[in-house]
Amino acid sequence: MRILTSKRGRDYLGGVLMIALGVAAAFQGASYRIGTLSRMGPGFFPVALGVILALAGVAIAITARFERDAVDAKSLPPEWRAWFCICAGIVAFVVLGKYGGLLPATFAIVFVSALGDRENNLLAAAILALGCVVVAVVVFRFALQLQFPLFQWG
């Protein structure tokens, strides 16, 4: 039971659990037709998510294995600023996505959420938001050809 009391032990066990769930989801999804990227079958999504979950579990378990003991999270005060900024960023994305388009919505969610980090300033948040806007336009507009307007009014 000592392993469950340390953060490193909980992270390690959490990573192992994620690996097990990811492998199980991938095997279950593989029982259906997987298909290709252009013609996905019903098993493609579960297999892809299972593999991603297992890889994330591997990363968590590896980092937990080599992690030094840190400050206990129970002794730190809650990060109300971060909670507020992330929630406000999501609301801004929903509202601006509906009435403003992809560019302002993406900029708003990244900019407002980045302000939740006490080490970020306005310039750093704006640069991060602009970079994410460029990536969003390239990925969602040009690569995936998503029918989400870049700009719109009302």
Helix (H) or strand (E) run with residue 93 in it: helix 80-99
User: 145 — phi, psi (to 5°)?
Assistant: 50, 45
Contact 60, 15 (CB under 8 A): yes
Q: Which residue did the predictor score with more confidence, 112 or 37? A: 112
Contact criterion met (CB below 8 Å) for 41 and 35: yes
Report CA-CA distances (Å) from 5 to 11, 19, 71, 139: 11, 21, 13, 42
pLDDT for res 114? 92
For the chain, what are the domain ranges?
2-75, 80-143
Q: Tell me, what's the pLDDT at 6?
A: 66
More confident residue, 97 or 113: 113
Asked whether 2 and 9 are in contact (CB, 8 A), the reply is yes
* Least confident stretch, 29-38, 85-94, 127-136: 29-38
DSSP label at residue 69: P
**Averaged pLDDT, 69-91:** 77
Percent of the chain with pLDDT strictly greater than 70:
89
pLDDT of residue 111: 94
Percent of the chain with pLDDT over 90: 40
| H/E segment holding residue 12 | helix 7-30
Would you state the torsion angle of the CA atoms of residues 5, 7, 12, 14, taken in this order, to the nearest 10 degrees?
Answer: 80
Is the pLDDT at 2 greater than 70, yes or no? no
pLDDT category at 89 given cuts 50, 70, 90 is: very high
The mean per-residue pLDDT over the stretch 83-108 comes to 90
Averaged confidence pLDDT in the chain = 85
CA distance 88 to 74: 25
> Over 70: is that where the pLDDT of 9 sits?
yes
Gap between the Cα atoms of 86 and 89, Å rounded: 5
